[in-house]
């Protein structure tokens, strides 16, 4: 049996057969976080196989399609359809979805403004790695703050980042409420929920704006494909 020597930490209750344990902060009941300092003894190592050679091997122009918008706007649905069409065209892709990533890479993050910023910082870095691998990378995140979306853009070379605003008014998203999140937010069960308790900053000059309150997901996906054709990605 593992015992914590810290008054603020406690092991997760043991579940027979799970073979592991997780330390939790007693106050927050979340895994503890520790301040990390950037090392000063690390350097970039020049590799012989670079982004250009990986892109050539894949036979495509890698890029990031960054879908942003309110919860319920249809980001994941449209991104999924776009990826299906790209796959049918023989393209190599990866889709990073906000909910899915929080089950693994970002499961230690909550929904405070600070955690949202770190959420997008990590995804921006992962997206950069995917582009380095020569993939067309689809990112479906609310990503509410302009500064963080700009940070993700600046990680990439010119012409590799496409901001796609899946635009549906708050009242439309709330009426859809596919996950029941707006109802919980209105009841005070989800503090800092984007659009209710936390602000969303819409893009000012996205590469593409999708009127998700007027067109169906199939039509919106086709507009994304057309965008890629216009920019010689396809």
Give dist(CA 17, CA 15) in Å, integer: 6
Is residue 127 flagged as an active site residue?
Answer: no
Q: Which residue has the tokens 């929904």?
A: 111
Kind of pairing between the strands at 208-211 and 136-140: unpaired
Q: Calculate the dihedral angle through the C-alpha atoms of 48, 52, 58, 63, rounding to the nearest 10 degrees.
A: 130
Write out 171-192 in H/E/C secondary structure: HHHHHHCCCCHHHHHHCCCCCC
Q: How far is CA 28 from the centre of its chain?
A: 24
Give dist(CA 34, CA 150) in Å, integer: 27
Catalytic residue among 127, 140, 143, 198: 143
Q: Which helix (H) or strand (E) holds 88?
A: helix 75-88
Q: CA-based diameter of the chain, in Å?
A: 61
- Known catalytic residues are 143
């Amino acid at each position: 049996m593992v015992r914590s020597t810290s008054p603020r930490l406690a092991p997760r209750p043991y579940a027979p057969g799970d073979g592991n344990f997780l330390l939790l902060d007693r106050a927050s009941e979340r895994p503890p976080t520790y301040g990390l300092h950037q090392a000063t003894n690390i350097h970039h190592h020049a590799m012989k196989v670079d982004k250009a050679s990986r892109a050539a091997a894949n036979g495509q122009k890698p890029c990031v399609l960054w879908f942003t918008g309110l919860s319920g706007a249809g980001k994941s649905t449209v991104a999924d359809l776009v990826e299906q069409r790209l796959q049918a065209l023989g393209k190599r892709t990866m889709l990073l979805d906000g909910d899915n990533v929080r089950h693994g890479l970002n499961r230690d993050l909550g929904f405070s403004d600070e955690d949202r910023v770190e959420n997008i910082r990590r995804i921006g870095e992962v997206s950069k790695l995917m582009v380095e691998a020569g993939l067309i990378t689809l990112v479906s995140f609310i990503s509410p703050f302009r500064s963080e979306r700009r940070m993700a853009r600046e990680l990439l070379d010119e012409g590799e980042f496409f901001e796609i605003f899946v635009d549906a008014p708050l009242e439309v998203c709330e009426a859809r409420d596919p996950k029941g999140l707006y109802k919980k937010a209105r009841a005070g069960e989800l503090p800092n929920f984007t659009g209710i308790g936390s602000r969303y900053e819409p893009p000012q000059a996205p590469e593409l704006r999708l009127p998700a309150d007027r067109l169906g997901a199939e039509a919106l996906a086709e507009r994304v494909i057309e965008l890629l054709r216009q920019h010689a990605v396809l």
